[in-house]
Copies of this chain bind each other. A is one copy, B any other.
Amino acid sequence: MRISKTQLKYIRSLSHKKAREAERRFTLEGWRALKEAIASSATMDLVAVLPRFLADPDYAKILRQLEERRIPVREISDAELRLVADTVHAQGVLAVVHRPEPIVSDERLNRASLVVALDAVADPGNVGSIVRSADWFGVDLVLLGKGSVELFNEKVIRSTVGSVFHVPVVSGVDLSSTLRRMKQGGFFVMGLSGDAKRAYTDVAGRARMVILLGSEGHGLSKEVRASADVIVQIPRFGKAESLNVSVACGIVLSHFRTKNR
């Protein structure tokens, strides 16, 4: 069945943050992300596909899974997809997905041991890449502090490559109060900053840790920085002024995961 004008209009409206929030839905692009959404039993309203994939045996399995879950699959034309998709990377498929909306519950915190907290990280690619690394290294929870980019921004979702369905990501978190609560629960908060004296490699890993990272331009805000038990830096061997925040996050996660294996 062909996608309707109303459905196209609705998908297009989801490119606006306000609509995504009011509708509690977002759009997902690409087959890899769709596969992860299905594997994670995400609720979907609709999947729109270019006709040439419907008869392609490579996609028969994923299309059958959609059918089994009674998720409507609609044909969309190239021109229509270009109109509603964020990028040329949609790879011929787009889905309307219900937002996972985890909260920072006591239960969730009690079960967590490794947490990443982002203070006003604004670049969609960086936040997406951090969620992906968090998923790779088995982080239990990602906290997006106020001032960070919205998780359901198309570019963030695309950069997570499906990891948004694996790691709980809580948005709009008041980091100062939440980190205080976590420290009472036994978490050790390690903040990263280029001006720190200590290297992260000189700090012992703990059973319960928060890795805290600041914005690309300004680093950690004064208030959030005060919540950290220790401020560390990544030793520099060359001349760059700083590292990309998602690279810095990956380096520190990798170190503590590998060390505590």
Interface, chain A (partner B; CB < 8 A): 32, 36, 125, 129, 132-139, 159, 161-163, 166-167, 201, 234-244, 246-251, 254-255, 257-258, 261
Contacts and interface: CB of A to CB of B under 8 A. Distances in A.
Nearest to A239: B166
Given A125-B125, A251-B251, A258-B201, A132 B239 contact: no
A139 to B, nearest CB: 7
Contacts of A161: 240-242
A137 B238 contact: yes
The 5 A-B pairs at the shortest CB distance, nearest first, are namely: A138-B237, A247-B250, A138-B238, A135-B240, A136-B240
A133 B136 CA distance: 20
Contacts of A240: 132-133, 135-136, 161-163, 166
Contacts of A132: 240, 242-244, 247
A249 B242 CA distance: 15
Nearest to A40: B239
Contacts of A159: 244
Given A234-B254, A250-B250, A254-B234, A32 B241 contact: yes
Contacts of A243: 132-133, 136, 250
Given A163-B239, A250-B250, 18 more contacts: A129-B244, A132-B244, A132-B247, A133-B240, A133-B247, A136-B242, A137-B236, A138-B237, A139-B238, A159-B244, A161-B241, A234-B254, A243-B250, A246-B247, A247-B247, A247-B249, A254-B254, A254-B255
Given A250-B250, A254-B251, A239 B135 contact: yes
A234 B254 CA distance: 8
13 contacts: A36-B241, A129-B244, A132-B240, A132-B244, A133-B243, A137-B236, A139-B238, A161-B240, A162-B241, A166-B240, A235-B258, A251-B251, A254-B255
B258 A129 contact: no
A237 B32 contact: no
Name, among A132, A162, A240, A251, the residue most crowded by chain B CB atoms within 10 Å (CB to CB). Answer: A240
